[in-house]
Structure 1
Amino acid sequence: MDPEASLHLRLAGVIRLSLAGGRGPTDAWVFDPHRLALPCWACTLGATAPPALLVTLDRHLDVVPPQHPEAVPDRTAGLRALDEHARWSLDVRNYDHILAAMEAGLVGDALLIARARPRGAFAGGVYKDTRGREHRLVAVPTVDRAAEAFQSPAPGDLVRDVLEHTERVLLDVDLDCFTSPSDADPTTVLPWPRDVIREFLLPEGSGPFWDAVLEKTVALTLAREPHHCGGLLASGELFRDVAEVLFRELLHATPP
């Protein structure tokens, strides 16, 4: 077996899927802790491809700066170094991997479709990494809003701009995007039913936005985060419903 082709087999806790026959990416990566997206992005892009635009769907804006951003290995250090850094140096709360990927030179700009801002999240629109590179952070709360900003940009809307000024897109989904905190107990999350997932992910009129995203998408990463999705059983049922909409209806691929 070609050592380069089998590198992903060293990524413990990561499942790689082939999406041949659908539209958009031909590879998908599934794992639990969201910080494991970092080595998956490294495996997808390698050491020489230009940084990609990250399009991420999440309940939280995972843009808390790493505690030691200067210690994030550059992508040229290789997959093993980035995988080890993700597992042992990034925060176990899984909210600093995006800016870490910018520090590593894997991600350029980011389109963040997310609703909640964790404590300590970077609040600006441009993140300057420790190597001096600037990264635009474009945040919108819903796919519907992203599609609207793409098709009819208002002054200051940058969704279309970041999509048009990139060669590659990394599409990233956190399963907890499709949950809401309970009104009765904010520590309890409520998984969404499939029709609500579909309404969020594929709102009316979102076709041109998704076409623009998927024509450049080189990989999908999907974090299951069971502790944010009601536990193992609840997250398993939610994964099944999200997979039907995400893989079958959006990507036109067979669900895993």
Structure 2
Amino acid sequence: MKNDHNALRHLRLAGVIRLGLGGGRGPTDAYVFDPHRLALPAWVLALEAVGAPALLVTLDRHLDVVVPERPAAVPDVSAGLRALDEHARWELDVRNYDHILAAMEAGIVGDALLIARTRPRGAFAGDTYVDTRGRPHRLVTVSTVDRAAEAWNHPAPGDAVREVLEKAERVLLDVDLDCFTSLSDADPTTVLPWPRAIIREFLLPEGSEPFWDAVLEKTVALTLAREPHHCGGLLAGGALFQDAAEVLFRELLRVEPP
């Protein structure tokens, strides 16, 4: 009964859907939720069997590296799933941009490879974040998958994509659905979801296969934040999820979409 209880612990995480991804390449589990800060407890679950920390590879429209309001108050990963789930829901910012550094504070994430196009106000600007426990964490930032793949295939001086990937023992692959959106030039409050062809062009550019092979061979779980309020609303976000899932699951991970 103990093993059955542990296997169903994800059912305690309200709003987090766990998916089995058997038969493809890369992770065997995925966790889908709406607020991106719920990645925190999902990462705890994903790493229970293999140990923390992991390299975080995240794709997002925004760099979610704002320092938590009370970084020293983030529970350590040893405090367990319930403590970190509660902290994510009640202590982290509802704007969903401080969960990555919170995960570093908790000892869940070591270094991070951040594929993102915009930097929110207040985002940490350095390339090394030292948490309140004195541990350094590298933040390697590139704007597109194409740029990450180029840095993997042909590193230029200063490129660190290959370095952090080769150093990592395990990877958490994280995707915010709003990565596949843009703001309208005519009205900056209007979100424009990308069509499937543009999602494919961004996620699977020519020459990216060696980069993705390096990521997926170490990936223990995929986390996917739907964030409908950043994706044009519930209906537009649902349609975007369908298009993104076809590319992300069927073409990248080579499994059936959820």
TM-score (norm 2): 0.98
Counterpart in the other structure of 1:211: 213
Counterpart CA distance in 2 for 1:64 and 1:50 is: 22
Counterpart in the other structure of 1:181: 183
Offset at residue 6 of structure 1 (A): 1.4
For 1:55-94, list aligned pairs within 5 A.
55-94=57-96
Offset at residue 48 of structure 1 (A): 7.1
Tell me if 1:39 matches 2:41: yes
Counterpart CA distance in 2 for 1:50 and 1:236 is: 32
Offset at residue 62 of structure 1 (A): 0.1
Letter in 2 for 1:155: P
RMSD: 0.9
Offset at residue 54 of structure 1 (A): 0.2
Counterpart in the other structure of 1:196: 198
TM-score (norm 1): 0.99
Q: Is the 8 A contact 1:47 1:78 kept in 2?
A: no
Gap regions ≥5 residues in structure 1: none
For 1:51-200, list aligned pairs within 5 A.
51-200=53-202
Counterpart in the other structure of 2:12: 10
Q: Is the 8 A contact 1:28 1:219 kept in 2?
A: yes
Counterpart CA distance in 1 for 2:93 and 2:190 is: 22
| TM-superposition CA deviations, 1:80-116 (whole Å, max 9, x none) | 0000000000000000000000000000000000000
| TM-superposition CA deviations, 1:49-87 (whole Å, max 9, x none) | 131000000000000000000000000001000000000
Counterpart CA distance in 2 for 1:147 and 1:47 is: 29
Equivalent pairs, count: 256
Offset at residue 5 of structure 1 (A): 1.4
Gap regions ≥5 residues in structure 2: none
Letter in 2 for 1:174: D
After the TM superposition, list the runs of 4 or more consecutive aligned residues in structure 1 that deviate by more than 6 angstroms. Answer: none
**What percent identity do the matched residue pairs reach?**
81
Counterpart CA distance in 2 for 1:48 and 1:116 is: 32
Counterpart in the other structure of 2:251: 249
Letter in 2 for 1:252: R
